[in-house]
């Protein structure tokens, strides 16, 4: 499984090229930080990777990518459901029996430092806990390609670092992970870098 970017560039109608000549091979077990200043095209490139947007230049090959998952910058959950349920549901959707799904979900929550809050309602989680839960849920859904958009943008420095500290866990998922960010600490927590501020 891999995603290949061949000379990828993009310009919206009437706009300048946001980025160009992007040639990379993205592989499982890597967590790619997609960095660059505001407006450099990070969100646009995530949409291109997802196949939502066609690049105006070059091409993207998604070999063996059946499912693409997203984690957005604002955590969305069901306020009255407990944290555990948020991770159990995608596992049940993949066919795991409830009991096994709960065991696996607790294991995921541990890995994201959420073991203590597994039975707490989503609405009672802190911002950092909620964001880490979104990462755990995104990983539990088992996508070949997981796209994470600015996971620390809404968080203060200390809370952001609790999220950054768990990003490495995503490399254990077996898929390709791409994290758009302008937080240097988030970038450093990833295994690889795609920097849109540097012309290729």
Ligand X SMILES: Nc1ncnc2c1ncn2[C@@H]1O[C@H](COP(=O)(O)OP(=O)(O)OP(=O)(O)O)[C@@H](O)[C@H]1O
Binding-site ranges for ligand X (CB under 6 A): 12, 15, 18, 36, 38-44, 182
3-state SS assignment for residue 154? coil
Q: CB-wise, 82 or 150, nearer to ligand X?
A: 150
Shortest Å, Cβ 4 to ligand X: 21
Say which residues have a Cβ less than 8 Å from residue 15's Cβ, sequence separation at least 6.
Answer: none
- Distance of alpha carbon 23 from alpha carbon 131, whole angstroms: 31
Closest approach, Cβ 63 to ligand X, in A, equals 24
Torsional class of 22: left (φ above 0), alpha (ψ -120 to 50), beta (otherwise): beta
Residue 113 or 192: the one with the smaller Cβ distance to ligand X is: 192
Show the tokens assigned to 46: 């995530």
Beta carbon of residue 175, minimum distance to ligand X (angstroms, whole number):
22
| Residue number with CB closer to ligand X (15 or 199) | 15
Nearer Cβ to ligand X (12/126):
12
Structure tokens at 165: 């500290």
């Amino acid at each position: 499984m891999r995603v290949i970017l061949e000379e990828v560039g993009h310009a919206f109608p009437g706009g300048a090229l946001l980025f160009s000549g992007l040639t990379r091979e993205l592989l499982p077990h890597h967590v790619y930080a997609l960095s660059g200043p505001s407006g450099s095209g990070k969100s646009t490139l995530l949409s291109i990777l997802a196949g939502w947007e066609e690049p105006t230049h070059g091409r993207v090959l998604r070999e063996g990518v059946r499912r693409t998952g997203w984690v957005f910058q604002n955590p969305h959950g069901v306020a009255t459901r407990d944290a555990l349920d948020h991770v159990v549901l995608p596992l049940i959707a993949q066919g795991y029996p409830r009991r096994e799904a709960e065991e696996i979900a607790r294991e995921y929550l541990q890995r994201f430092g959420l073991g203590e809050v597994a039975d707490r309602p989503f609405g009672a989680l802190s911002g950092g806990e909620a964001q880490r839960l979104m990462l755990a849920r995104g990983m539990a859904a088992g996508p070949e390609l997981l796209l994470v958009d600015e996971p620390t943008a809404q968080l203060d420095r200390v809370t952001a670092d609790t999220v950054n500290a768990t990003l490495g866990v995503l490399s254990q998922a077996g898929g390709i992970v791409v994290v758009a960010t302008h937080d240097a600490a988030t970038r450093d927590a990833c295994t690889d870098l795609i920097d849109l501020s540097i012309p290729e």
